[in-house]
Structure 1
Amino acid sequence: MTDPSRTQPDRIDEQTARTYLITGAASGIGRATARQLSARGHRVIGADLKDTDISADLGTGEGRALLAEAAADLGGGRLDAVIACAGVADHDPVTVRVNAFGAIATLTGLRPLLAAGRHPRAAVVASVAALHPTDPAIVDAVLADDEAAAVAAARAAIDRGEPQRVYTSAKHALVRWVRRAAVSDAWAGAGIPLNAIGPGIIRTPMSRPMIGDPEIRAVADAAVPMPLNGYGEAEQVAPLLDFLTSPENTHVTGQVVFIDGGADAVLRGEEGW
């Protein structure tokens, strides 16, 4: 029997091909998504620290500005879809800079290019970790667009022995920002669906150190229980991002779509509703 996760998606014709900008395109979910879209006949502009069309560090203001400028140039002043996959999982304030401020800057900075595109769509990779305990100071600072305060709060969390809250807080703040922004005039009012996805544990270069260490893996499994098929592959996440950023998605917006093997349902149960 053919594994449905390995089947090739239908190829489109030149008239319906779209131009995508994908951050984090050099590895993991970003790379898998770029490959799927390219295989279907779409044009993909990849961005990452290196080995892509645009080399930019989204942990810095300079890198974010470079991304917007290069995307406008390479896209000819327009984009049909943006998928923000870039992320890190370091116990360092850079995690807040990249995962929260970098992702939000990607979406807001490229929104004018989307407004000029055809059937514009946007999606960002969050995490099921957004459901885990957070540091309110980090979350509040991100939502207030105060990067200096968020970095200071991240350092304080690390200093008091709660480094894991830097990652969870960055992702939590990101999904709250998506919920807020998606229904605004700039997004829904302009006809641009904006969504987040919440992966569970996906086998990528970022997760390899965690799942490769039996001790850390046991902790991760307890924090992210995945009763349906266990860990995922990046190639299994790509089709979800493909749909959310396709013209077929006309009404899904402001959502955090979990692709986590059931972790959200285990962690929150029916109380989540």
Structure 2
Amino acid sequence: MTDLTGLSAFPITPASASGVVDVAALRGLVGRLAAAKVDSVGLLGSTGSYPYLTRDERRRALDAALDEAAGRVPVLVGVGALRTDAALDLARDAQAAGAAAGLLAPVSYTPLSDDEVFEHVRAVADGSGLPICFYDNPGTTHFAVSPALLGRLSRLPGVVAAKSPAAPAAEVAGRIAALRAAVPDGFRLGSSVDWHAAEALLAGSEAWYSVAAGLFPRPCLAILRAARRGDGAEARRLDAALAPLWALFRAHSSLRVVYAAADILGLCRAEPPRPILPLPAAVRADVAAVVERLGLG
């Protein structure tokens, strides 16, 4: 089983307006990440627009990514869905295809209770045999996991890790400590929210689940390596250098920005899935200027 630590890079999923995945473009994105030696590829996460794709297209994306990544980098794949039976089907697809683990968010329309989330995760982990990373993403699911609930989830067979939004610098160490106290030894705690990731890594987060790394793995790897060797000054310096990118992410959403950046860099011509619109021309120009100024091309 893959040890979910280090840098997990989350690429977009290039697709047509009708939701047909551009397999060649996706393979190109995954190949870049494998060549950069990220620790894992986070396929079909929120950046990968998983809720907007059918089960068949998600399987096509997974097969293409696994084929491109084979023997080079593990693939963690989003298996979230509104219904438990649909999430279970997706997890079984991922298990059969050879994914390293599944990323399971408590997707909902009607707000879910702790017990409903627990039973949802239990059913998917137990019924699929796929190692599960619980995906805490309250910005999209409108459900925030408590340390107590994560403690319950972490003791389910097959639930091996959690991806949680990193708190701001003043709060991050306390948040990680509270989560660590609730889960058993060996359960992996990782962080998202790129502009808080450096502090989260320095505070003990074992993984960085990164949108930026899906396009720009090398500067993200540099931050990770500095944090791992305990060089806080260097990790913060490298993080500060990316502040213009983080500002764009906060202002316009990381999803919209990386779609624009992928197009600007000529990596693919995909647009975000409707109803999400591409960035206006003026903002796109800002993205292009930041990419050039930071040398991210």
Which interval holds the TM-score relative to the shorter structure? 0.3 to 0.5
TM-score, length basis structure 1: 0.35
TM-score, length basis structure 2: 0.33
